[in-house]
Structure 1
């Protein structure tokens, strides 16, 4: 049984493992646990599923030989003795996680109970996938995890190593982007203290789209990809054909491949995007507050970021202009970053992971 992001997506490491097993392990029955809001998506992909929390689900899920998931399961859900639970997680950590967060700023969430819930969850895991040794060390401590770690690279990144130019061309076509347009992907994260209610977070653009259009609209299109916890619905109708809301696009891996440049902030997307050897810009307009008050970081991002950090619209636009001409592979900081975080990303992570967790 597979789940991705609370059973609402067909994406990420669980999808990569599912696709690998479907091709190479035909003897297994592979099923997805799916939230009712995502049923249409799974039917479009023709993926076998059971609707989450229905009677057939309660009969099937606890009897599965394996669970593959990338976030925490509900606290009330026990793991049966004979089920192997593979936790894939969903990113190399920049911002502090789990037990490493000193104070929780999320709505209706007490710091102590949040940390206790993480510990109760990690006790259920039989295996945890890690993309690199840096993450392994953090995961063990932040999740209070003492089980087996499979340090393989991330299965979801295999496609970033194995892709073809034809695939990129097809993806742009599917998104409705003209072949001659360059593509920038804007993929920020959420802020713990800016929310409507628990699990629904606010987000406000910190650069003006009218100014962006004047500066880049002739050559570029902008793909706007919000974090799955961000509740905003953006109206980009005034910028049709120029700005695309791809927040509900099934899997961000396609958006990485279709884009020529990434703009992000504290999201872990840049660890994956660096595999493509394309420019990354960090638009960290609230850096001091995020670093010192909200979360804190595991690495010195100002020293080790594989691209420029900017804080204003003007700096952002200047960085875009200069980075479009740059070859990031000539940067020693970029090369060092890839050596530290991407050395296992060789296109074979799913194969290694599956071999490690199958009984």
Structure 2
């Protein structure tokens, strides 16, 4: 009953409170601080030009973040905070907006940074049936009032326009704020994992989560790490040890993997490292399947290996916006022996798939750096 009252209160309160304060509200999913909203929030804090707040409903996390950043965090569980959110002039998100309400947006600045390049279907295009109707109604609350939807490339504008029901004139190639950290990160792998062997190179294995993300629409099994019929962890570890290669596995935070942690294969989940972009530049090779993380990694001009072991199932259940084979510049091994061979080839031969990587990178990453500055400037100009 309490949550129902809170929902109704959030829906109608903006009728009473019109945005007027030079306050900028950031949010992702109300329980995490990550991706583009985190990067721009931190940038805005340093600039200290306007008041910024981030929404975190998790009480323990909010207390922890207050100790790190100061009293800059709100919750939609408290009426006084909902009033502040309703009164804010700017809402910035890369997930969902802080309050699900259709009111007050005409004089509010709405900015969506999103959280990845849309290789797969997103927004209204990623759902069907009643879920699609729910997403449609939610998007309609905000769509016509957008001031900015930031994309990494003008080549993606039509996809975002269809997916989020936005006028394509509001979609601008300002890039992803989180990618600025690709060039200025001060973190290392040792900051997250203490018992490291003396490795020479390091691989990040970060596949897409399947089951929970797509709910009943997903009919297959959850993500498989090392989806090879000849998978043998001992042989793989022997190869890694011989070549001084550290392999870090990054599952979704709700997924458990049945791969034992060892000297050369380490867990690098969000429990170990909350924001992988803080350290992604330290990796020499990325292994993934359909995760848009590889588009960010291409900016570094480093190799990518793909494991699309259930491509047909994924295309049928989730859907892709592009021909997978044409936009994935890297080998796609189907056995462990091929997997090991391709890792060596990618790490030792800089020219291997280099031309394909440049082509894909230039198409999807028109803007590679300076996104925080561009979007921060946009907010200032629109506030003035």
Q: Give the TM bin, normalised by the shorter chain.
A: 0.7 to 0.9
Query: 8 Å contact 2:261–2:267 — kept in the other structure?
Result: no
Indicate the residue corresponding to 1:33 in structure 2.
55
Please list the CA deviations of residues 170-219 of structure 1 after superposition, one character each: whole Å capped at 9, or x if unmatched.
443443245634221111112258877899x9433235544432331452
Contact 2:289 2:306 in 1 (8 A): yes
- Counterpart in 2 of 1:259? 283
Equivalent in the alignment of 2:76: 52
Distance 2:338 2:67 in 1: 42
Deviation at 1:103, TM superposition (A): 4.0
What displacement does 1:3 show? 3.8
Of residues 122, 146, 158, the one that matches 1:97 is 122
Cα shift at 1:141? 1.5
Mapped partners of 1:196, 1:289: distance in 2: 15
> Which residue is equivalent to 2:155?
134
| Corresponding residue SS for 2:305 | strand
Residues 1:175 and 2:193 are matched in the alignment: yes
More helix by share: 2
Retained in 2: the 8 A contact 1:183–1:259? Answer: yes
1:299 aligns with 2:319: no
Please report the RMSD computed on the Cα atoms of aligned residues, expressed in angstroms: 3.0
Gaps of 5+ in 2: 1-23
**In the comparison of the two structures, how many residue pairs are matched?**
345
Does the 8 Å contact 2:27/2:97 carry over to 1? no
How does 1:52-131 map onto structure 2 within 5 Å? 52-73=76-97, 76-81=100-105, 82-101=107-126, 103=128, 110-131=131-152
Q: Please tell me whether the aligned partners of residues 285 and 302 of structure 2 are also in contact (alpha carbons under 8 angstroms).
A: yes
TM-score normalised according to structure 1 size: 0.84
Tell me the residue number matched to 1:354.
Answer: 376
Query: Is 1:220 equivalent to 2:262 in the alignment?
Result: no
State whether residues 30 and 98 of structure 2, in contact with CA within 8 Å, keep that contact through their aligned partners in structure 1: no
Q: Which moved more, 1:149-158 or 1:122-131?
A: 122-131
TM-score, normalised via structure 2 length = 0.79
Q: Which residue of 1 aligns with 2:208?
A: 189
The answer to whether 1:14 aligns with 2:33 is: no
Is 1:287 the counterpart of 2:311 in the alignment?
Answer: yes
How far, CA to CA, are the matches of 2:184 and 2:352 in structure 1? 19
1:204 equivalent in alignment to 2:219: no
CA contact (8 A) 2:144 2:166 kept: yes
Query: Does residue 318 of structure 1 match 2:318?
Result: no
* 2: CA distance, partners of 1:57 / 1:328: 54
Q: Give me the whole-angstrom Cα distance separating, in 2, the residues matched to 1:135 and 1:265.
A: 20
The unaligned stretches of length 5 or more in structure 1 are none
Q: Assess, with a 3 A threshold, how the Cα gap between structure 1 residues 175 and 77 changes in structure 2: closer, same or farther.
A: farther
Show CA shifts across 1:34-86 (max 9, x none).
12163255246335212332233212111112111101237743452433121
Q: In the aligned structure 2, how far is the partner of 1:128 from the partner of 1:278?
A: 28
Q: Which structure has the larger Rg over C-alpha atoms?
A: 2
Alpha-carbon distance change, 197 to 46 in structure 1, aligned in 2, over 3 angstroms: farther
Distance 1:89 1:195, change over 3 A: closer
1:129 Cα deviation (Å)? Answer: 0.9
